[in-house]
Structure 1
Amino acid sequence: MEAGFIKGDSANLPKVDSLMVANFFARNKDFCEAEYRNVKTSLSSRESYGDDAVGYVQLQRGSTSKLCTVKCGVCPEHKVRTKPYSVTVIVDEKNGVIVSARCQDCPASEGGCKHAVAFLMWLPRRSEEPSCTQIECYWKKSQLSKVGTSLKFITSKEIAKSNIPTSSDNAVLNKFIELAAAKEIKNCELIRYMKNSMEDLLWTSMYQLCIKYGVPSSEEFVNKILPLFTPNVLKEVEEKTRNQSENNL
């Protein structure tokens, strides 16, 4: 933590609303219209990215001015192990104005970068959260930077929080396939996987193999399907799946 700064939490962050953010974008020359309206920046402002990427929030309030400086570390999306980008936002709490938002580490910050956008959209969400008796500290490692450190995998039981009843009744699926065939729907992904054509080799897909040979352990599953993949089958699969970007199979 930098000298003079304190840990950010739900009780001491400056109040920032969406109107303040909109006014900042409208009048700030660093965020030109072509830049902050593009798809990449729109993705940066989404809740699922900002809430996971923002961490180590700290702030400082001037003794004489009404300016509040808020800093954070924004974890890169693709290289989560690297040093987070340092983003600084200055808020005029008296007049309800965002003075500046800048990323210190990104070359694109001269024209307004996505890390500044992510932090700008993160602040209003924290201000809009309902008050509670427990104060949440934001001086902590971002969720995105934890990927691959402690949680290595998740089981299907953990994905489903409740006990979902299972059934072997395929009536709904069969009705769907029947209606799709009647309407000649061919581009549906589900319909493509329902085919079991030797000509298209779809029977070699993991989906079809799991349905037909699914067993409790991976070892048993491999032993079941191994005899199916003869040299001739492997050769045919290789030939029919070339040019992957242009190959539907």
Structure 2
Amino acid sequence: MPRRKVDPGFSEARSDNLPRVDAFMVASYLASHSDFVSAEMKGAKANLSGRKSYGDAAIEFVQLKLHGSICTLKCLICPEHRVHNKSYRVTLVLNIVDEEILSTQCHDCAASLGGCKHAIAFLMWLHRRSEEPLPTDVECYWRKSVLSQVGSSIKFIREEHHVTIS
């Protein structure tokens, strides 16, 4: 299989070059954008798409481009159910000076016009990466997803179950 190439003007995303996205940025973006305030996105679908076990296993080939204060990130997201189908392309744009998420867009799924789980999965993935960096470790995110390897090099992915008591 030929090596995937980074888009012109972009570079491979690593733990030391990703922009920081904190919980306030995520909450502000989701609360203020009409794509994510529908009943469908407020409930179980949003919770499932933001879970660590999905995003961390499905996101692959993350790349970024800086242009002044604007950072554009792109990734591919492996389909959750048909892992060997074409991956979804997702773009996230943020202003790193004002610490504001400007947009998230999935370019390939039917639900992308009203916000979709792939956009939320990428947003939450980026937020999780912001919470965990170690100053001496550098991890490259320009790689094939774990989920896309199910059925070829690995048999299955074990999902974590957490119980929340109110």
8 Å CA contact 1:35, 1:111 repeated in 2? no
Higher strand share: 2
Structure 1, unmatched stretches of 5+, are: 154-158, 160-249
**1:130-178 Cα shifts (integer Å, max 9, x gaps):** 314231000000110011111248xxxxx9xxxxxxxxxxxxxxxxxxx
Q: Which residue of 2 aligns with 1:34?
A: 39
One-letter code of the match for 2:110? P
Structure 1 residues 130 and 5, CA gap change in structure 2 (3 angstroms): closer
One-letter code of the match for 1:52? A
8 Å CA contact 2:90, 2:105 repeated in 1? yes
What is the alpha-carbon distance in structure 2 between the residues aligned to residue 152 and residue 99 of structure 1?
Answer: 38
What is the alpha-carbon distance in structure 1 between the residues aligned to residue 102 and residue 85 of structure 2?
Answer: 29
Q: Which residue of 1 aligns with 2:144?
A: 141
8 Å CA contact 1:32, 1:111 repeated in 2? no
What is the alpha-carbon distance in structure 1 between the residues aligned to residue 136 and residue 150 of structure 2?
Answer: 30
What is the alpha-carbon distance in structure 2 between the residues aligned to residue 152 and residue 120 of structure 1?
Answer: 28
TM-score by length of 1: 0.59
Structure 1 residues 98 and 110, CA gap change in structure 2 (3 angstroms): same
Pairing 1:88-127 to 2, within 5 Å after superposition: 88-127=91-130
What is the alpha-carbon distance in structure 2 between the residues aligned to residue 85 and residue 152 of structure 1?
Answer: 22
Q: Which residue of 2 aligns with 1:53?
A: 58
Structure 2, unmatched stretches of 5+, are: 1-5, 159-166
Instruction: Name whichever of 75-84 and 126-135 sits farther off.
Output: 126-135
Q: Which residue of 2 aligns with 1:24?
A: 29
**1:70-121 Cα shifts (integer Å, max 9, x gaps):** 0000111001001110000001000000000000111201110000010010
8 Å CA contact 1:9, 1:135 repeated in 2? yes
**1:184-205 Cα shifts (integer Å, max 9, x gaps):** xxxxxxxxxxxxxxxxxxxxxx
8 Å CA contact 2:84, 2:148 repeated in 1? yes
What is the alpha-carbon distance in structure 2 between the residues aligned to residue 143 and residue 152 of structure 1?
Answer: 11
Give the number of aligned pairs.
Answer: 153
Offset at residue 18 of structure 1 (A):
1.3
RMSD: 1.7
Structure 1 segments of 4 or more deviating over 2 A? Answer: none
8 Å CA contact 2:36, 2:42 repeated in 1? no
